[in-house]
Structure 1
Amino acid sequence: MELQVMNSPFNQEQTELLNQLLLTLDDRQKIWLSGYLAAAQAPSVPAGNSVQTTEKSTASRQVTILYGSHTGNCQGLAEEFTQHLKDKGFTVKLSDMDDYKTKSLKNEEDLIILTSTHGDGDPPDNALTFYEFLYSKRAPKLDGVRYSVLALGDSSYEFFCQTGKEIDERLAELGAERIHPRVDCDLDFEEDAEAWWEAVFNQLDQSQKESPALSQVAATVTDQPVFSKKNPFQAEVLENINLNGRGSNKETRHIELDLEGSNLKFEPGDSLGVFPKNDEALVDAIIEEMGWDPDLSIIVNKDGEVRALREALISHFEITVLTKPLLEKFAAFTQNQEFHNLLQSKEKVSNYIYGRDLLDLIRDYGPWEARAEDLLAALRKIPARLYSIASSLKSNPDEVHLTIGTVRYDSHGRKRTGVCSGQCAERTEIGDQLSVFVQKNQNFKLPEDPSVPIIMIGAGTGVAPYRSFLEEREETESSGKAWLFFGEQHFVTDFLYQIEWQRWLKEGVLTKMDVAFSRDTSEKVYVQHRLHENSKELFEWMESGAHVYVCGDEQYMAKDVHETLVSIVEKEGNMSPDQAESYVAELRQTKRYQRDVY
């Protein structure tokens, strides 16, 4: 039987499609289809009422999720939220900001933005193009577009969540309407991000009376436990050696961890997150200074988890970094006028918190009129440390290797060490365990085509991912050329992984290597100087399609290398400064210039 337009709620095109489909169905298929449709409608149609056409529901609107991510946190959240929406029947488009076609912005319906902030308030590399478009004259009016922004940052920096704040404000200026107010997250972002997402999802899903929180979404049942940042794997330490020679100014640890049974997977360019523990000596000094009971029960999170005070200070709370928000919270617990005067000056606060920790604060500005529970509630969760993985899973199954530079310094009359690097150097033995998870980094990846040349630039521990690159290329017998630029202080004591580089050179896995040891000559020589010396050949490699990688310190090395690359392109390509900048920007946008900087 054919459906007639006059007797149905369908238009002509829909009727024709239904007629075509019905002619192909057998009785069993028709019965199944009628039952399926009846079941789908039953909860929303009162008994005795006929089905009526309704307005388009919220779920029929397209949701676009864009992320700008440096370390992978925003990307991971964006992927999680995308899957949640798909499971609920939404039409979702997921993209990093670099790959997003900005001309589509004016046609969006519901736009979800997740972005971190990099350096001194700058957008992450893969958000630059989108950010610049928003602030250009080409940015369209966005009337009718709904949006919400989740901003990730670190409150110890002056420009906390700056990129998220600016994108949020600019979208509003262009006429877009907020679905939900922006939320700014600190390093312990998980709970705030989850609460933001629940609120956003409830707005997107207004047609449903009950909107389950993200935490209540059923997980896929697997035979093995799923290890992640929320559920880190306890990896046994297989090796822990100092790569630097006797007399070096540095201590760089090569650590090998056993991943057997974790089912953790990673690719060259990814990072390993490590949840560190604070130095027990520092914790004990704080407890003694405050006269606290180390066995006092403390609630450490919103879920009501309880730990003994000493254990909480060792494993849960951040005590080595001061931030302006922390000082402002502590202001409620002291009448010390000098402390309150300090908070009135942004410059004085910035100067005070640099190089100081919680022990300094409680010693400098007591007495503190608060219970231990109240003071600890003001502290944030100790953040995981991310380290570029220095090994290939193909080459070392069930293992992961790290290259960690030990941080040691004197500040305000006390000797101090980095939390995680100090733990690995001084308090971690073979057989101990570290709490770890894999952090994907899609912005620092080998070319898909193994024949494409690669140029790797790094100083110190910045060579870690290049070790994983070459292990991978050796294992897969890739044919592409590889050129490494490496910088450190001294050839004799600081040539990290020297034997391995030399072996790869001999075997052809590594085509060229140029090194710069800054303290071995009267005039300091850095990797950017070696780049200049090889400018003609470098440009030829770039012109032939080579991918360029930079890993290491952002403020100095990476900044100088970037400026050097632009000057090389300008000189060897006979370009103007603007043309050279555009050339390098194009390399970045096409994923041929990738940076892993910190």
Structure 2
Amino acid sequence: MADPLRIGLAIVATSCWLALCVAAFRAHYARRPRPFTLSTDSMPLLLVHASQTGFAEQVAQRTAVTLGDAGIMVQTVSLGELDPTMLTSVDRALFIVSTTGEGDAPDNAASFLATAARPTSLAGLRYALLALGDRRYRHYCAFGHRLDHWLRANGARAEADLIEVDNGDPGALRHWQQGLRLFGADSDMPDWAPPAYQRWRLAGRRLLNSGSLGGEIHHIILEPEDRLPDWAAGDIVELYPGPAADAFAVDGPALPHREYSVASIPADGRIELVVRRMRHPDGRPGLGSGWLCEHAAPGTAIALRIRTNRAFHAPEPSRPMILIGNGSGIAGLRAHLSARPEASRNWLLFGERSALHDRLFADELDRWRESGRLARLDLAFSRDTPDRPYVQHRLLDAADTLRDWVEQGAALYVCGSQEGMAAGVNAALATILGADRLEALGEEGRYRRDVY
């Protein structure tokens, strides 16, 4: 007969083990995607994934946790379980989809494709899409682009441009994570996978818009402590917004990186940035801009890495470029103009507040216009005249010329603020060229944006 003490101990041990299992299950279930059910109390953010190997689902789970930590109600669903009419019951959706084989949809998305042929009005839907793929295949991220086309064709509005991820590229996934702030995520959330930084030095800082009604804009110059890496116009800097020693320390504070468009080319021998100093409503400086524009002294070590941004790389030199932007968006456009050959045709449309205080890089732009590097320069200063012109109004004023340039093969490049400028420019271009033509230019790689 068993010893009563041993039986009692066994019962206690079993009870503890069961309690731990229940706690583990609850913790796991709290962080796993929930099945899709329409909520009658409030409108959730819908998170849709289509995965062949499970990676898209893993990214969706990480995305759901990030949004959940910010208090956003998220409901997740496999694309194969989603009826297109369900998208009419929400106003925000995120799509994370893989491409398999030579441009095919994942197996579990077959049922969605079968029902998506019929028109569905999605005019009230705002969305973002992450396309996973492998650049070694000819039809890279093709299913993601097909889904994006279907959403736009049915009236949905993209809050951000489609992001492509080549074979799990951590830089592209960080870009997606940062973009989640458009859907309510905390902008100071820790990086899922911190960048592998290199050491640079703050070699110079110059205020570009003294007396401006807007926030200060600074020209930042960074020099490498080691060899100068290579990059292309259109690439992005991922910068650690604090002392470089913390970025390289094992137990240093895990600050989220900040992204900036590179305003220079390798021939300049340095990284140049154009940074607007941001402030929170309570007056606190922005994490990245406060570090670069205020706290870091000249000579300070800076931790950063350069991320390739193929979605904003230049067209072939013979193709004309129409460059459109505002504010600190001059950075990405300046890099492209610096990289263009002397014989190329380029047209810059740029907007800011005041010609007296905000004509950024005025001398340089005037030289480029005089030398012919800029065939045309259109400026819009919204606070100088009662009609308050923005850069999209300059586009509409020059509609006939813009159509002629596009017919001659020009590519359209937009850099600057997502709110206001990018949406206004997109609407103006759709008015001038037609929405279908503008979408076709995007599919051809002749309409590219670096907006934030």
TM range (shorter): 0.5 to 0.7
The partner residue of 1:385 within 241, 258, 264 is 258
Match of 1:471 in 2: 338
Q: CA deviation at 1:568?
A: 0.4
The structure having more radius of gyration, on CA atoms, is 1
The partner residue of 1:561 within 422, 425, 448 is 425
Task: Evaluate the alpha carbon distance shift between residue 129 and residue 432 of structure 1 in structure 2; reply closer, same or farther with a 3 A threshold.
Answer: same
Task: Evaluate the alpha carbon distance shift between residue 490 and residue 135 of structure 1 in structure 2; reply closer, same or farther with a 3 A threshold.
Answer: closer
CA distance in structure 1 between the partners assigned to 2:233 and 2:428 by the alignment: 26
Task: Evaluate the alpha carbon distance shift between residue 386 and residue 443 of structure 1 in structure 2; reply closer, same or farther with a 3 A threshold.
Answer: same
Match of 1:544 in 2: 408
Q: Deviations over 1:443-486 (max 9, x none)?
A: 00111x2111000000000111111111112xxx3422100000
Task: Evaluate the alpha carbon distance shift between residue 104 and residue 459 of structure 1 in structure 2; reply closer, same or farther with a 3 A threshold.
Answer: closer
Match of 2:177 in 1: 153
For residues 253-402 of structure 1, the aligned pairs below 5 Å read 253-259=218-224, 261-277=226-242, 305-306=250-251, 312=252, 316=253, 381-394=254-267, 396-397=268-269, 399-402=270-273
- Contact 2:211 2:357 survives alignment (8 Å): yes
- Contact 2:202 2:222 survives alignment (8 Å): yes
Match of 1:130 in 2: 146
CA distance in structure 1 between the partners assigned to 2:100 and 2:404 by the alignment: 30
CA distance in structure 2 between the partners assigned to 1:521 and 1:471 by the alignment: 31
Task: Evaluate the alpha carbon distance shift between residue 133 and residue 596 of structure 1 in structure 2; reply closer, same or farther with a 3 A threshold.
Answer: closer
Task: Give the secondary-structure state (helix, strand or coil) at the position aligned to 1:253.
Answer: strand
Task: Give the secondary-structure state (helix, strand or coil) at the position aligned to 2:104.
Answer: helix
Task: Give the secondary-structure state (helix, strand or coil) at the position aligned to 1:490.
Answer: coil
Task: Evaluate the alpha carbon distance shift between residue 562 and residue 502 of structure 1 in structure 2; reply closer, same or farther with a 3 A threshold.
Answer: same
Match of 1:511 in 2: 375
Q: CA deviation at 1:490?
A: 0.4
1:533 maps to 2:397: yes
1:234 maps to 2:233: no
- Contact 1:153 1:187 survives alignment (8 Å): no
CA distance in structure 2 between the partners assigned to 1:489 and 1:106 by the alignment: 46
Task: Give the secondary-structure state (helix, strand or coil) at the position aligned to 1:564.
Answer: helix
Match of 1:188 in 2: 191
CA distance in structure 1 between the partners assigned to 2:185 and 2:335 by the alignment: 33
Larger RCO, structures 1/2 (Cα 8 Å, 6+ apart) = 1
Task: Give the secondary-structure state (helix, strand or coil) at the position aligned to 1:443.
Answer: helix
Task: Evaluate the alpha carbon distance shift between residue 543 and residue 64 of structure 1 in structure 2; reply closer, same or farther with a 3 A threshold.
Answer: farther
CA distance in structure 2 between the partners assigned to 1:243 and 1:273 by the alignment: 22
CA distance in structure 2 between the partners assigned to 1:417 and 1:237 by the alignment: 19
Task: Evaluate the alpha carbon distance shift between residue 561 and residue 187 of structure 1 in structure 2; reply closer, same or farther with a 3 A threshold.
Answer: farther
Please tell me the residue identity of whatever aligns with 1:391: S
Coordinate RMSD, CA, aligned:
3.9
Task: Evaluate the alpha carbon distance shift between residue 478 and residue 590 of structure 1 in structure 2; reply closer, same or farther with a 3 A threshold.
Answer: farther
- Contact 1:102 1:133 survives alignment (8 Å): no
- Contact 1:566 1:581 survives alignment (8 Å): yes
CA distance in structure 2 between the partners assigned to 1:270 and 1:497 by the alignment: 20
- Contact 1:407 1:417 survives alignment (8 Å): yes
1:245 maps to 2:210: yes
Q: Which runs of 4+ in 1 moved over 6 A?
A: 62-66, 97-103, 133-137, 148-151
Q: Deviations over 1:275-321 (max 9, x none)?
A: 0029xxxxxxxxxxxxxxxxxxxxx99xx944xxxxx5xxx2xxxxx
For residues 576-587 of structure 1, the aligned pairs below 5 Å read 580-587=434-441
Task: Evaluate the alpha carbon distance shift between residue 240 and residue 132 of structure 1 in structure 2; reply closer, same or farther with a 3 A threshold.
Answer: closer
Match of 1:593 in 2: 447
Match of 1:329 in 2: none
Q: Deviations over 1:401-437 (max 9, x none)?
A: 000001125x3xx322111111112112221121110
- Contact 2:237 2:262 survives alignment (8 Å): yes
Please tell me the residue identity of whatever aligns with 1:528: Q
CA distance in structure 2 between the partners assigned to 1:560 and 1:128 by the alignment: 25
Q: Deviations over 1:115-170 (max 9, x none)?
A: xxxx9642269886232468799xxxxxxxxxx99975356554769xxxxxxxxx
Q: Deviations over 1:347-391 (max 9, x none)?
A: xxxxxxxxxxxxxxxxxxxxxxxxxxxxxxxxxx42111100001
- Contact 1:275 1:436 survives alignment (8 Å): yes
- Contact 1:120 1:157 survives alignment (8 Å): no
1:421 maps to 2:427: no
CA distance in structure 2 between the partners assigned to 1:389 and 1:240 by the alignment: 15
CA distance in structure 1 between the partners assigned to 2:363 and 2:152 by the alignment: 50
Q: CA deviation at 1:246?
A: 3.3
CA distance in structure 2 between the partners assigned to 1:107 and 1:121 by the alignment: 20
- Contact 1:236 1:433 survives alignment (8 Å): yes
- Contact 1:269 1:445 survives alignment (8 Å): yes
Match of 1:362 in 2: none
- Contact 2:97 2:130 survives alignment (8 Å): no
Match of 2:91 in 1: none
- Contact 2:129 2:148 survives alignment (8 Å): no
- Contact 2:99 2:144 survives alignment (8 Å): no
CA distance in structure 2 between the partners assigned to 1:415 and 1:481 by the alignment: 44
Please tell me the residue identity of whatever aligns with 1:430: P
Please tell me the residue identity of whatever aligns with 2:347: W
CA distance in structure 1 between the partners assigned to 2:53 and 2:230 by the alignment: 30
CA distance in structure 2 between the partners assigned to 1:64 and 1:587 by the alignment: 33
CA distance in structure 2 between the partners assigned to 1:534 and 1:133 by the alignment: 28
CA distance in structure 2 between the partners assigned to 1:149 and 1:391 by the alignment: 24
Q: CA deviation at 1:265?
A: 1.5
Please tell me the residue identity of whatever aligns with 1:188: D
Match of 2:310 in 1: 442
CA distance in structure 2 between the partners assigned to 1:542 and 1:102 by the alignment: 34
1:404 maps to 2:275: yes
Q: CA deviation at 1:65?
A: 9.5
- Contact 1:491 1:520 survives alignment (8 Å): yes
- Contact 1:121 1:160 survives alignment (8 Å): no
Q: CA deviation at 1:584?
A: 0.7
For residues 566-577 of structure 1, the aligned pairs below 5 Å read 566-569=430-433
TM-score by length of 1: 0.47
CA distance in structure 1 between the partners assigned to 2:210 and 2:431 by the alignment: 36
CA distance in structure 2 between the partners assigned to 1:268 and 1:122 by the alignment: 25
Which residues of structure 1 form unaligned runs of 5+?
1-61, 70-96, 110-118, 138-147, 162-185, 192-228, 279-299, 307-311, 317-380, 570-579
Please tell me the residue identity of whatever aligns with 1:189: W
- Contact 2:212 2:358 survives alignment (8 Å): no
CA distance in structure 1 between the partners assigned to 2:440 and 2:257 by the alignment: 33
CA distance in structure 1 between the partners assigned to 2:212 and 2:106 by the alignment: 62
- Contact 1:450 1:478 survives alignment (8 Å): no
Task: Evaluate the alpha carbon distance shift between residue 266 and residue 98 of structure 1 in structure 2; reply closer, same or farther with a 3 A threshold.
Answer: farther
Instruction: Tell me the percent identity.
Output: 28
CA distance in structure 1 between the partners assigned to 2:440 and 2:330 by the alignment: 25
Please tell me the residue identity of whatever aligns with 2:403: F
Q: CA deviation at 1:107?
A: 8.9
TM-score by length of 2: 0.62
